[in-house]
């Protein structure tokens, strides 16, 4: 009988990519994927520790999945909770057979074999500092049209609220040639879009840990990939405002295949809070970068992240965040209630903003942003956007769905069948809060 594996993924795109790598490794061992945890011989939870709730969810899930698993199966925990809280995973949760840190993914086959050969749980949570860029072939990827490609790992910024430098280690960059050859093989396999991943893509190529010792800046890397990969669409995330610069924008202006989307998390509009967060820029500096983006001839979608209720945040600080969001007119905004994370600098500070105040600020910011987003989306009505067809719409089966180059979800009707993975013109007829609606412009042949 063929052995089966089940993977559940929490957290960011890096975890999505790591789950693809883990799936590829298990398939090479002869396993098949199953969506049913009770059928699986190997169950993996790929975890996120960025907020307390994300981390708690993992422990709840370990307990519930333990009840579902079949006898003799192995349960593994990978990702950022595995890296940061391996002892807690092994002791508190119980029943876990494998703990696979963020650097140990390549050792998954060995760790499985080790666990099968012994009665005791095995853990590999080495310090995540080495360049370890796992590779998978295009055929081993789960999504057929959009591929994630890591360009750098880790983070050296140490924002005082953030656990990521502890779970993903120091910054290290992959060689430009390897990134380019991966993009070319994805294009040859029919991929239309690649999303370049890093916690801090703008600091690509900096520091000592550059694979092969290469020395491209992020702007130079973008130039190389845009010119030589032949891919119709390249997106990237996440940019850090401190390192986002005019060179990056200039490269984007030169290449139509560098998409119209910039994710530039601001975290707060208050200089006092930005300093306490160790973000390395002021509210004015951030505004100037936004103004530069908005002054471009290209119509960029700008998205961001804001934390509300950071320790010491007063109503005045929060007002500054509202003002900044008003200024930036984000096309999309992720809002988070601050949550204390073990090992971070801010964890030692009094988390003095009461939960009800955090929730109230969250709601006020959400309302403001929803209004802005609706207005921003309305500008697309009557315009034709290039949309990558990704499947049928979940709302209406006869409709299609996909993303624009500006990373908007676009649902649309078409009087013909369309194959997934092609880029089509869609005339936008309606705008909603979180998506656009339209119809196929013209007829698609071939
Ligand atoms: N590297 C990115 C940057 O600097 O903007 C962010 C990566 S982090 C995984 C994604 C987002 O989670 C952050 O932008 C921040 O808004 C949020 N976040 C991180 N730590 C948090 C915490 N302790 N509480 C609430 N939100 C947090
Ligand atoms: Fe976390 Fe700050 Fe690094 Fe982003 S830049 S991953 S928020 S420490
Ligand atoms: Fe979460 Fe780790 Fe990503 S903490 S957001 S899965 S880098």
Complete DSSP assignment for 332-364: EEEEEE----TTSGGGGS---S-HHHHHHHHHH
The answer to whether the CB of 289 is under 6 A from ligand 1 is: no
The answer to whether the CB of 311 is under 6 A from ligand 1 is: no
Q: List the residue whose alpha carbon is closest to atom 7 of ligand 3.
A: 164
Per-residue confidence (pLDDT) for residue 130, from 0 to 100: 63
Query: 161: which 2 tokens?
Result: 């609220």
Measure the CA–CA gap between 400 and 437, rounded to whole angstroms.
10
Letter string b/e over residues 406-415, b meaning 16 or more CB atoms within 10 A of that residue's CB: bbbbbbbebe
Q: List the residue whose alpha carbon is closest to atom 3 of ligand 3.
A: 12
List of residues 6+ apart from 30 with CB closer than 8 A: 2, 3
Per-residue confidence (pLDDT) for residue 208, from 0 to 100: 67
* Tokens 């998954």, located at residue: 108
- Residue ranges per domain, the chain? 4-123, 146-378, 384-440
The answer to whether the CB of 162 is under 6 A from ligand 2 is: yes
Distances (CA, A) of 69 to 41, 46, 99, 278, 424: 8, 16, 17, 44, 44
The answer to whether the CB of 308 is under 6 A from ligand 1 is: no
Q: Are 294 and 328 in contact (CB under 8 A)?
A: no
User: What number does CATH give the domain 146-378?
Assistant: 3.80.30.20
Ligand at minimal distance from the CA of 82 is 3
* Tokens 């749980």, located at residue: 121
**C-alpha 370 – ligand 1 centre gap (Å):** 20
The answer to whether the CB of 199 is under 6 A from ligand 1 is: yes
List of residues 6+ apart from 24 with CB closer than 8 A: 136, 137, 140, 141
The answer to whether the CB of 240 is under 6 A from ligand 1 is: yes
The answer to whether the CB of 11 is under 6 A from ligand 3 is: yes
The CA angle 24-27-30, to the nearest 5 degrees, is 160
**Ligand 3 pocket: which of 77, 164, 198 to mutate (most atoms <8 Å of CB)?**
164
Measure the CA–CA gap between 310 and 350, rounded to whole angstroms.
10
Query: 278: which 2 tokens?
Result: 């160790």
**C-alpha 79 – ligand 3 centre gap (Å):** 8
Can you tell me which atom of ligand 1 is nearest the CA of 200? Answer: 1
**C-alpha 157 – ligand 2 centre gap (Å):** 6
Q: Which residues of the chain have pLDDT under 70?
A: 128-132, 207-208, 214, 446
Closest by CA position to 157, among listed 100, 238, 85: 238
The yes or no reply on domain 384-440 and CATH 1.10.287.130 is: no
Per-residue confidence (pLDDT) for residue 95, from 0 to 100: 86
Q: Considering Cα of 154, then 155, then 161, then 166, what sign does the dihedral take?
A: positive
**C-alpha 162 – ligand 1 centre gap (Å):** 6
Query: 365: which 2 tokens?
Result: 């910011």
The CA angle 75-130-169, to the nearest 5 degrees, is 70
Measure the CA–CA gap between 205 and 208, rounded to whole angstroms.
9
Beta bridge partners of 308: 337
Measure the CA–CA gap between 392 and 399, rounded to whole angstroms.
6
The answer to whether the CB of 48 is under 6 A from ligand 3 is: yes
Q: Helices (H) and strands (E) in the chain — how many of each?
A: 13, 19
Can you tell me which atom of ligand 2 is nearest the CA of 238? Answer: 4
Q: Are 214 and 205 in contact (CB under 8 A)?
A: yes
Would you say how long the chain is, in residues? 446
List of residues 6+ apart from 420 with CB closer than 8 A: 144, 145, 389, 390, 391
Per-residue confidence (pLDDT) for residue 315, from 0 to 100: 97
Measure the CA–CA gap between 243 and 163, rounded to whole angstroms.
20
Q: Are 246 and 290 in contact (CB under 8 A)?
A: no
Closest by CA position to 101, among listed 59, 47, 158, 57: 47
Measure the CA–CA gap between 58 and 55, rounded to whole angstroms.
5
**Helices of type H across 313-446:** 315-328, 355-378
The answer to whether the CB of 167 is under 6 A from ligand 3 is: yes
> What class does CATH assign to 4-123?
alpha beta
Q: Are 296 and 249 in contact (CB under 8 A)?
A: yes
Average pLDDT in the chain:
93
Can you tell me which atom of ligand 1 is nearest the CA of 267? Answer: 16
Closest by CA position to 260, among listed 198, 304, 302: 302
The answer to whether the CB of 200 is under 6 A from ligand 2 is: yes
**Ligand 1 pocket: which of 17, 281, 336, 344 to mutate (most atoms <8 Å of CB)?**
336
How many Cβ atoms from other residues are within 10 Å of residue 216's Cβ?
20
List of residues 6+ apart from 247 with CB closer than 8 A: 217, 219
């Amino acid at each position: 009988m063929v052995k089966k594996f089940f993977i559940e993924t929490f957290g960011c795109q890096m975890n999505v990519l790591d789950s693809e790598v883990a799936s590829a490794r298990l398939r090479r061992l002869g396993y098949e994927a199953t969506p049913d945890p009770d059928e699986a011989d190997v169950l993996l939870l790929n975890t996120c520790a960025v907020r307390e709730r994300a981390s708690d969810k993992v422990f709840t899930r370990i307990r519930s999945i333990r009840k579902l698993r079949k006898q003799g199966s192995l349960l593994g925990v990978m990702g950022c909770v595995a890296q940061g809280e391996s002892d807690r995973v092994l002791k508190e949760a119980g029943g876990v057979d494998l703990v696979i840190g963020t650097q140990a993914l390549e050792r998954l086959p060995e760790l499985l074999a080790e666990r099968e050969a012994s009665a005791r749980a095995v853990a590999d949570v080495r310090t995540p500092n080495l360049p370890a860029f796992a590779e998978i072939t295009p055929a081993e990827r789960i999504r057929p049209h959009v591929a994630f490609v890591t360009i750098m790992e880790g983070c050296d910024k140490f924002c005082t609220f953030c656990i990521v430098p502890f779970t993903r280690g120091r910054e290290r960059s992959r060689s430009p040639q390897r990134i380019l050859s991966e993009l070319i093989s994805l294009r040859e396999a029919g991929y239309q879009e690649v999303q370049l991943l890093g916690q801090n893509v703008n600091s690509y190529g900096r520091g000592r840990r550059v694979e092969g010792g290469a020395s491209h800046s992020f702007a130079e890397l973008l130039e190389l990939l845009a010119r030589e990969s032949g891919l119709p669409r390249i997106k990237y995330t996440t940019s850090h405002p401190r390192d986002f610069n005019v060179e990056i924008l200039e490269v984007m202006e030169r290449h139509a295949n560098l998409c119209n989307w910039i994710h530039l998390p601001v975290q707060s509009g208050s200089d006092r809070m930005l300093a306490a967060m160790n973000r390395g820029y002021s509210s004015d500096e951030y505004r100037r970068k936004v103004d530069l983006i908005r002054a471009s001839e290209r119509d960029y979608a700008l998205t961001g992240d804001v934390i509300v209720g950071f320790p010491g945040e007063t109503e005045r600080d929060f007002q500054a965040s509202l003002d900044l969001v008003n200024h930036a007119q984000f096309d999309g905004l992720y809002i988070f209630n601050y949550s204390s994370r073990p090992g971070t600098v801010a964890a030692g500070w009094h988390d003095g903003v009461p939960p009800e105040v955090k929730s109230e600020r969250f709601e006020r910011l959400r309302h403001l942003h929803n209004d802005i987003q609706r207005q921003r989306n309305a500008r697309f009505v009557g315009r034709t956007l290039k949309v990558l067809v990704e499947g049928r719409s979940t709302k209406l089966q006869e409709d299609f769905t996909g993303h624009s180059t500006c990373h908007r979800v676009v649902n649309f009707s078409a009087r013909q069948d369309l194959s997934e993975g092609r880029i089509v013109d869609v005339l936008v007829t309606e705008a909603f809060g979180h998506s656009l609606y339209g119809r196929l412009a013209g007829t698609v042949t071939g």
